[in-house]
Structure 1
Amino acid sequence: MAARKQQLAVVLLFLLGGVLSFPLGQDRKDALTCGYEVSYLYSFTALCFGLLLCVCSWSVFVCVQSCHATKPNMLNVHLVPHTHDDVGWLKTVDQYFYGDRNDIQHAGVQYILDSVVDQLLKNPDRRFIYVETAFFYRWWKQQSSSMQQTVRQLVNEGRLEFVNGGWCMSDEATTHYSAVIDQMTMGLRFLNETFGACGRPRVAWHIDPFGHAREHASMFAQMGYDGFFFGRLDYQDRARRMMAKEQELLWRASDSLTPPVADLFTGILPNGYNPPEGFCWDQSCDDPPIRDDPDLEDYNVDDVVKRFMAIAENQALVYKTNHIIMTMGSDFQYENANLWYKNLDKLIRYVNGLQSNSSKVNVLYSTPSCYLQELHRANLTWALKTDDFFPYADSAHDFWTGYFTSRPALKRYERISNSNLQTCNQLEVLGGPVSRKGPFGGGDSQTMKKAMAVAQHHDAVSGTEKQHVANDYARKLASGWQHCQVFQSLLFWWDVVSEHFTFLRTLYIPTLVSMILSVSVALIQFSVSVYNPLARPVTWPVRLPVNGTAYTVSDANGKPVDCQVSFAVNELVFQVQAPPLGYSTYSVSLLQDGSPPTSTQHRTPTVIQNKFLKVTFDPDTGLLSSLSNLETQQSIKLTQNFYWLVYNASDGNNSLSIQPSGAYIFRPNSSTPFIISSTAQTESIQVRRELVIYTLVQEVRQWFSPWVSQVVRLYADSRALELEWTVGPVPIDDSLGKEVITRLDTSIQTGEYFYTDSNGREMLQRKKDFRPTWQLKQSEPIAGNYYPINSRAFIKDDVDQLTVVTDRSQGGGSIHNGSLEIMLHRRLLYDDVRGVAEPLNETSDIFPEGLVVRGRLLLSLDRPPSAADAHRPLAQEVVLQPLLTFTDGDLNPNTRLEFSGLQAALPPAVHLLTLSQWDKDSVLLRLEHQFQSWESKVNSQPVTVNLQKLFSTLDVLGMSELNLSANQWKDEMKRFDWTPQKGTGRPNLPLTSLQ
């Protein structure tokens, strides 16, 4: 990059934290020299580098008060016409939009929007809500300017209302918070720029996700939403809430943010997201229309009105106010909107016509925000909730906990694609205008942003789609990678254009099998640039496939770097150090006459250790037996093994239930797992293993069976033990589907408590067979104790804490005291009858016998008060991993070999979440305080960051603070205030657990 500093109008946005305190300005357009204090809260700031241009487009239109009047002395029934349009599920995104492949499912989103707009224009009383901006964006781009103006009018008048507003309706279990924020920002930004304030959603709407995360509620609150509605919760929880009239509540979604920052009013819809039984009038429905000609023999108005009023009155018995909501629509409905609206018009007319005969039921077209407004006017107190809504079960043996792990290869691809996107965004900013107009044609981050946004959908990264749809998600991500390559090439031409540059990248072909395209195998001399997207320096092990036996490696200063060739897998291994938000370049040369490095190999390893950790193995079984932290003088017993469930997947054939395991459902036949072993199933299990010791790394290679193996790896300077597992192809020749887990059994006295993260952010305490706000009657002792693990989980007692960091979202639990298990892979032979209509049985042309999946678990052992100081940064390194780019031969002597975009690393508590080009002259920056208020004596404290001294190549001239989704000025964000009931909401767990 040129030495001169760029002066751009940049939007800087701050996120979350212990207390960020920034010295840069309170006025939206002033450039001041102040600092910013980072608290544990999401706060976003628009920073300017240069002139602050228009950050957000605000509408010049005045939004009309659009809610129909209600009647205070009546039961007001709010009818909400809607469609639920999955951004991929049984068909691909494209197929759903265009109405293709109706042999799979009849659905065409473009026709839904055409038809709804036409029908709204025919009656000004009618209302409609729309959710998925990914589809609406496509439809909008195809409309004429006159049609666009018509739609704007409908939005300004409140007749067409956007709810949720993200690019998609994201999954809540398997998504990482950074990717969720990005996809919400993308959708809301489009609505903001297209419709202004009238198009800004006031309600979050997650009617289909399969369980609900506390972090999602926290994010929605900080995005400015007044309320949150969903349809799915555990059947036992719903029954209790119906009796207590607590289906509408106040969700306190953070234990670190000062209320009401993360408080969110939450409503549970009465019929999921479907209409009441007997009142579905879509072309896909079989319910009879309203026949209101009294001369007809099948005149049915009286019957329809009687049934409707009975349903409304029964629903009112389990809600708190004289207002109730009914969703009038379902999956891909309103393709012929006339059918719905013609019958709804009649329903409203005939039910309300009885008011002259003393009826107390008033029916009206409404929207979620209008309904929420009436609840707020009621000025009541509401039950308080502080935990989450996992796991979700819709009946006694039907726990939706399998999708926490389903399609593990896609889950990993989505995770590293998120890392790649953040790097792409950062390089676009740091590279300046040349990155968008360079000699290679300019970069394109939008393709990757859209692909990642779609991947957050609740039938995408969740793994609950058909196979051909999963392939399409992967194809879109691969296309995004290609469009970001120009930004990656900037590592070599910020100062001078290199004529020879290539990339080592992970290519995921449609079958989701990872293939390494190596540029290093046949090269005699090449350079490796390591870009670090984190705002602190990192040390990272690089492993490159090679043909040679000996190499030399030197860093950016020409100093030699220790390296070695591992012959077991023909890899060159060396440690790199990358500066914060920058890169460092390493030169690699083949030694033509070099001798292979020496290594020590043993067939029966008993111990490996470095200066931080000591790991022992049982000499008889070959399994791990203990883990010790040499710095803190801790030691625990630790045994790890692999199992499959009986934990074999249920086929539904037992006396309790016919429910089988599938893409959504996890239901083992038994609570006793089978040990995976190459020997016969006996009590004496022996794992084949081999120890290889080099100076940089010690590896114990374990073979549990022909289809399960692992490398236990300890690097010389690492405080974490790496377990690299490989599972597959999972055999099914015995006609049994299998769900493969690894289980860590320790001497830690957990008391059946364990901890999992919520979307990669805050940690939540769990307890076996326990729910904080209702009395659980456990019917599935394994599946009913599984929770989503997005990036880390841990078990602890007063002395020891064992933390496991995952490289993708997975399901897991603590079924036994001192134990933590994680599901790694699933291959099933039955569909679980939740709509996907095919078994989760992934194969490919390359692996016709079944998919092979590889992943990593990182283990750390620490004292509980300070464990977060280690595992939070470790988890961030896995989520935002360094990017490698390669150049063949010698670099131009003028090439810059090292660069950092920061003047200094950010403090340990502060994480740079987003650095992205907002428009030509502005940049969006998000900083977050990443420690919960109780986690660390040091790092949970407030931190001050000086924004003017933050960047090395950008001058900060001004800033404005935005909300979390960057679609409102923070000081203009107004939300409803809600009053919680006293003495409710706190999980019934020991206070010492948070100390």
Structure 2
Amino acid sequence: VTESLCRGAEILYSLALAHARHTGSDGRYPLSDYSLLSNARRNLGLFQHHDAIAGTAKEAVAVDYGVRLLHSLTNLKRVIGNAAHYLVLGDKEFYHHDPAAPFLGTDETRPSQDSLPERTVLKLDSSPRFLVLFNPVEQERLSVVSVLVDSPHVRVLSEEGQPLPSQLSAHWSSATDVVPDVYQVSILARVPALGLRVLQLHRSMDSHSPSVSVSSVRLYLQGRDMAVHRQETVPVHVFPSAPDDLCLESQQLRACFSGHSGLLQASSLRRAGEEWEQRVSSEFLIYGTRSSKDKSGAYLFLPDGEAKPYTPRDPPLVRVTEGPLYSEVATYYQHVQMVVRLYNVPGVEGLSLDVSCLVDIRDHINKELALRFSTDIESGDTFFTDLNGFQIQPRRYYQKLPLQANFYPMPTMAYIQDTRSRLSLLTAQALGVTSLHTGQLEVILDRRLMQDDNRGLGQGLKDNKRTCNRFRLLLERRATASKVQDGRPISFPSLLSHLTSMHLNAEVLLMPVLQEKPPPSLRSFLPLSAPLPCDFHILNLRTLQAEDETQPSAEAALILHRKGFDCSLEAKNLGFNCTTSQGQLSLGSLFRGLELSWLQPTSLTLMYPLGTASNSSNIRLEPMEIATFRLRLG
């Protein structure tokens, strides 16, 4: 989260500062935000120490890491809010920075470093509330964004006053309890690349607005005697038991779940006029630890054999929500809550299953919780994981090795494939992954171990928290049934897989306007004059420091990456516009309203210039190449 916010804050700050200098109003812009960016970057660098990444820090050190990251998160959102405030104002003369009364707020807060974020509830009255959306990705995206409001009578309009499609749902505090007088509005919004979009929320006088659809909810109690607290506005139909199968459908996908376990048991991929089904089932598993000799600890994974099925005390409660923008199945077990959501929208968002697992195993002793996906993909003993989100490495399951030797890190993705299809598991957090049998992918969700493993930490893993793990499950078909060369030393994700991973790790950021009085004229901000080719990724646009290290200079560093991708996976009729340019890019006309006055290619770390500064702004990158440029915008 901090890494994504840090990148977004650096880019938006650089754009706001360049536009402020272009109009001569940089004297009123808060240049002091630069020191907040520097501190956040240092805290993030500190957290990337191996003890923090691997979870092998002592509890006091882990708390210190958490407090530093929480301060960085708060400061980065402040930097993004200040930059967005300047950029969305129609008349920059109205810009006034007041640290005590920020113009934009955040849609969630974190009370402490080890708590999950709490979402902000917007209060609606007779005057409209304004929302600013920030898209940190360099591609335009059509996304479903959700906000909590205090009234079911709500209409969502664009900045031009056009109604936007939205879906009204209840806000649940548990499997059976609805939060009173709080409603979730999910909005289908198109947000420009690296840009800002302005929306209006109005309290509607009508009891039902045609652009707002109300979700339908079915709750299956599985024979348990429980009271259900509900609202009148969002109907909840309660059933004592579930049918054998529960199926959800969207424009592109169809997913079926077991009515008894609430877990995935089949998934279909639709194309125009055809349907192709792939068996994909999921289950939770528990690993124990050895009863003698060395036991599992912070460093060591020493299971007592193969994983055993997770058997909760009570059958799970299953809640099914259906609507025009999204449908989901939420399953509540004793130690884990799993939500699988289908977005019924065209483009990247609607082509994969959104999976989230809220895990709490604080009452376990020497147990490790895993999630396994089983398919009929004939992957053999080969699976693939990424290295630091950059390259993909083939892995092989070796039966002669102990079980724990077949687990590998998964920083951003893992996949299995055969000659016909590929199943990718994209993740928002680094976890351990393996494939112990053909057609399987298994990921460790959390570990709780009571003893030290004699590797230097001096304590067990007992500081577990309620943790939300987020994934995207992407099923793709090969356009050509060619033999997959799993023996090659390298493999590549598809272009769709790259884009889905970016959407998962760089979510749209919602910022409500805090001022009660009507704000000055606001308009959306489109920083790019044309969309970037789909295989280009802006790793960062970072303002460089001046001689006084607390102040920004007039130069910025642009770091670009051209992604390598697998062309054999089907990319037609996927519902999103995506073009590539053979690695060609013109930087001179890239940023709308700004002139590129100077461009200098440098080494990756900006230490050494590569060649002389050139007036030509056309560049070319090879696949997988990363290039850094010093530039001056104004």
Same fold at TM > 0.5: yes
2:105–2:514 Cα contact (<8 Å) kept:
no
1:578 is aligned to 2:191: yes
Q: CA deviation at 1:473?
A: 1.3
Q: Does 1:466 align with 2:108?
A: no
Q: CA deviation at 1:814?
A: 0.5
1:888 aligned onto 2:514? yes
Say which SS state the counterpart of residue 512 (structure 2) adopts.
Answer: strand
Of 734, 753, 756 in structure 1, the residue corresponding to residue 385 of structure 2 is 756
- Cα gap change, 1:446 to 1:519, in 2 (>3 Å): farther
Match of 1:488 in 2: 81
Distance 1:590 1:830, change over 3 A: farther
Q: Could you list the per-position Cα deviations for residues 511-531 of structure 1 after superposition, in whole angstroms to 9, with x for gaps in the alignment?
A: 521232515257774222111
Amino acid at match of 2:324: T
Deviations 1:152-203 (A, max 9, x none): xxxxxxxxxxxxxxxxxxxxxxxxxxxxxxxxxxxxxxxxxxxxxxxxxxxx
3-state SS of paired residue (2:117): strand
CA contact (8 A) 2:262 2:330 kept: no
Q: Are 2:476 and 1:862 aligned?
A: yes
Shift of residue 544 of structure 1?
2.1
* Structure 1 residue 614 displacement after superposition: 0.6
Q: Equivalent residue for 2:339? A: 711
**Cα deviation, residue 934, structure 1:** 6.9
Shift in Å at residue 740 of structure 1? 0.9
**Residue identity in the other structure for 1:875:** S
Question: How far apart are the structure 2 equivalents of 1:927 and 1:536?
Answer: 14
Total equivalences in the alignment: 525
Aligned residue number for residue 225 of structure 2:
none
Q: Is 1:560 aligned to residue 163 of structure 2? A: yes
CA separation in 1, counterparts of 2:85 and 2:426?
Answer: 33
1:222-278 C-alpha deviation (Å, 9 max, x unpaired):
xxxxxxxxxxxxxxxxxxxxxxxxxxxxxxxxxxxxxxxxxxxxxxxxxxxxxxxxx
Distance of 2:102 and 2:41 partners within structure 1: 28
CA distance in 2, matches of 1:471, 1:417: 16
- Partner AA of 2:79 in structure 1: V
Correspondence list, 1:283-362, <5 A:
none
**1:508, distance to aligned residue in structure 2 (A):** 4.4
Tell me what 1:529 maps to.
Answer: 132
Give the aligned residue type for 1:965: T
Structure 1 461/506 Cα, relative in aligned 2: closer, same or farther at 3 Å?
farther
Distance 1:509 1:720 in 2: 32
The corresponding residue for 2:363 is 731
- Distance between the aligned counterparts of 2:386 and 2:415, measured in 1? 9
Q: Matched residues in 2 for 1:558 and 1:853: separation?
A: 39
User: Structure 1: which 5+ runs fail to align?
Assistant: 1-415, 680-685, 771-776, 844-850, 973-995
- C-alpha displacement at 1:607, in angstroms? 0.9
Aligned match for 2:409, one of 774, 784, 788 = 788
Following superposition, the deviation at residue 561 of structure 1 comes to: 1.2
> 1:667 aligns to what?
302
* Separation (CA, whole Å) in 1 of partners of 2:119 and 2:261: 37
Corresponding residue for residue 338 of structure 1: none
Paired residue for 1:923?
Answer: 556
- Which amino acid counterpart does residue 743 of structure 1 have in structure 2? R
Cα offsets for 1:823-858 (capped at 9, x unmatched):
111222111221111111125xxxxxxx21112211
Contact 1:788 1:812 in 2 (8 A): yes
Contact 1:798 1:864 in 2 (8 A): yes
Confirm whether residue 909 of structure 1 aligns to residue 532 of structure 2: no
1:119-147 C-alpha deviation (Å, 9 max, x unpaired) = xxxxxxxxxxxxxxxxxxxxxxxxxxxxx
Q: Is the 8 A contact 1:531 1:583 kept in 2?
A: yes
User: Greater helix share, 1 or 2?
Assistant: 1
Query: Which of 117, 125, 135 does residue 515 from structure 1 map onto?
Result: 117
User: Whose RCO is larger (CA < 8 A, sep 6+)?
Assistant: 1
Distance 1:421 1:599, change over 3 A: closer
Is residue 492–residue 895 contact of structure 1 (8 Å, CA) maintained in 2?
no
1:443 matched to 2:76? The reply is: no
Query: 1:447·1:479 contact (CA, 8 Å) conserved in 2?
Result: no
Amino acid corresponding to residue 709 of structure 1 in structure 2: Q
Report how far residue 540 of structure 1 moved. 2.4
Secondary structure at the counterpart of residue 614 of structure 1: strand
* C-alpha contact (below 8 Å) 1:749/1:797 kept by paired residues: yes
Letter aligned with residue 329 of structure 2:
V
Note if contact 2:167-2:213 (Cα within 8 Å) is conserved in structure 1: yes
Greater mean deviation of Cα atoms: 658-667 or 796-805 = 658-667
2:45 is paired with a residue whose SS is helix
Structure 1 residues 800 and 853: alpha-carbon distance in aligned structure 2, compared to 1, 3 A threshold: same
Any conservation in 1 of the 2:537–2:560 contact (CA below 8 Å)?
Answer: yes
Provide closer, same or farther for how the CA distance between residues 666 and 438 of structure 1 changes in structure 2, counting only shifts above 3 A. Answer: farther
Q: 1:960 & 1:799 partners in 2: Cα distance?
A: 45
Asked if the contact 1:472/1:510 (under 8 Å) is kept, the reply is no
* Percent identity over paired residues: 22
Check whether the contact 1:698–1:714 (CA below 8 A) recurs between aligned residues. Answer: yes
Instruction: Name the structure 2 match of 1:594.
Output: 207
Q: 2:610 aligns with which of 970, 985, 989?
A: 970
Which structure's residues are more often strand, by fraction? 2
**Range moving further from structure 2, 622-631 or 539-548:** 539-548
Partner of 2:277: 635
CA distance in 1, matches of 2:517, 2:428: 34
Q: Secondary structure at the match of 2:560?
A: strand
Distance in 1 (CA, whole Å) between partners of 2:54 and 2:319 is 36
Does residue 691 (structure 1) correspond to residue 317 (structure 2)? The answer is: no
- How has the CA–CA distance of structure 1 residues 953 and 752 changed in structure 2, closer, same or farther, with 3 Å as cutoff? same
**Aligned-partner residue type, residue 542 of structure 1:** V
What does 1:604-643 align with in structure 2 at a 5 Å threshold?
Answer: 604=242, 606-631=246-271, 633-643=275-285
In structure 2, the CA distance between the partners of 1:888 and 1:483, relative to structure 1 (3 Å rule), is: closer
Task: Name the counterpart of 2:177.
Answer: none
The Cα offsets for residues 88-137 of structure 1, whole Å up to 9 and x where unpaired, read as xxxxxxxxxxxxxxxxxxxxxxxxxxxxxxxxxxxxxxxxxxxxxxxxxx
Stretches of structure 2 lacking an aligned partner (at least 5 in a row)? 173-182, 221-241, 481-492, 546-552, 572-578, 613-634
Q: 1:726 to 1:676 in 2, by over 3 A?
A: farther
Q: Which TM-score applies when normalising by structure 1?
A: 0.50
Residues 931-965 of structure 1, C-alpha deviations (whole Å, 9 max, x = no match): 24777799898321011111113211232211222
- CA deviations 1:621-657 (Å, max 9, x no partner) are 443221111017321111111122xx02x2x533xxx
Match of 1:504 in 2: 106
- Provide closer, same or farther for how the CA distance between residues 529 and 568 of structure 1 changes in structure 2, counting only shifts above 3 A: closer
- Match in the other structure for 1:721: 353
Letter paired with 1:759: N
Alpha carbons 1:427, 1:488 under 8 Å: kept: no
Cα contact 1:447–1:483 (8 A) shared by 2: no
Q: Deviations over 1:336-368 (max 9, x none)?
A: xxxxxxxxxxxxxxxxxxxxxxxxxxxxxxxxx
1:423 alignment counterpart: 8
Measure the CA separation in 2 of the matches of 1:668 and 1:548. 51
Change (3 A) 1:599 1:510: closer
Whole-Å separation in 2 of the counterparts to 1:571 and 1:831:
44
Q: Which amino acid aligns with 1:871?
A: S
Q: How far 1:568 moved relative to its partner?
A: 4.4
1:797 matched to 2:418? The reply is: yes
Secondary structure at 1:899's aligned position in 2?
Answer: coil
What whole-Å deviation, never above 9, does each CA across 1:523-560 have from its counterpart, x for those lacking one? 77422211112211112222223332232111233211
